[in-house]
Homo-oligomer: A and B are copies of this chain.
Amino acid sequence: MATVIEINDPADPRLDDFRDLSTADRRPDRPGGRGLVIAEGVVVVERLLASPYPVRGLLGVRRRVEALDLSELDVPAYVTSAEVMASVVGFHLNRGVLAAADRAPAVDLDALTDTAQRLAVLEGVGDHENLGSIFRNAAALGVDGVILGPGCSDPLYRRSVRVSMGHVLRVPFATTDQWPATLNMLRQKGYTVAALTPHPSALHLADAGLRGRRVAVLLGSEGPGLTDEAIAAADLAVRIPMSSGVDSLNVATAGAVAFYALL
């Protein structure tokens, strides 16, 4: 059972994990310069509590903290006012409860790719919101894991965690710098690697015969898109048919359409 502790002094050092939240996810004093994992709001905090991430503590207004099942936890749950919370974190939060956790050990790329049936493989997805949305969509649409190639941001940044609705804490991900060699490895393991691109020469997604196969969907950054090297290392290029004169879809939205097409 978590210990509920009331605190009224925003300078109390026990609240340091939550101090200046806008930089809490980037901490040069912590391993790799990467900071704590911060969950905001009841739903995301619940996902953190159910995840392998080692929870360090909670901070919230009483009503929100009491909405959580803290019976399995052995960490402090600090209760305070909305005003003190705002003063500690540095801005007004309308979600009323936070949790901080350490990072979990990285998932092994080999282990992930041995067992997953459907994967999202990202190249150059640097935008934290897009990254978070991709994890949310992956969780909803039956994608078993995410591989982060070169140029991707840290999906455990606070903004990504929030936009993912906490699913970045549930959908396993692994990072690779073997690029595009990782795509060859996936093909050797029996994945069909399908590069999603708006290029007109690509196959229509619905005609690519991906449904029911073991598939890795390769998604590139918005704007430049996938590199030629990545497309060349894929089994095939697929596209979502789009109206002419329109920019391509947002990468997370395009990913959702592709994940749906695999179902």
Contacts and interface: CB of A to CB of B under 8 A. Distances in A.
Interface of A: 43, 133, 136-137, 139-142, 165, 167, 240-243, 246-250, 252-253, 256-257, 260-261, 263
Contacts of A141: 240, 242-243, 249
10 contacts: A133-B253, A136-B249, A136-B250, A140-B240, A140-B242, A141-B240, A165-B247, A241-B263, A253-B256, A256-B256
A207 to B, nearest CB: 12
B136 A167 contact: no
A23 to B, nearest CB: 19
Contacts of A165: 247
A18 to B, nearest CB: 25
Contacts of A243: 139-142
A261 to B, nearest CB: 8
Contacts of A240: 140-141, 260
Contacts of A260: 240, 257, 260-261
Contacts of A246: 139-140, 167
Contact of A253 (B137, B167, B247, B261): B137
A43 B140 contact: no
Chain multiplicity (copies): 2
A243 B141 CA distance: 6
Nearest to A252: B253
B250 A133 contact: yes
Given A241-B263, A263-B241, A43 B256 contact: no
Given A257-B257, A257-B260, A43 B247 contact: yes
A245 B256 CA distance: 17
A53 to B, nearest CB: 18
Contacts of A261: 260
B256 A249 contact: yes
| 4 closest residue pairs by CB, A with B | A140-B246, A140-B242, A257-B260, A253-B256
A140 B249 contact: yes
A30 to B, nearest CB: 30
Given A140-B242, A249-B256, A253-B256, 10 more contacts: A43-B247, A136-B247, A136-B249, A137-B249, A140-B246, A140-B247, A141-B242, A141-B249, A260-B260, A260-B261
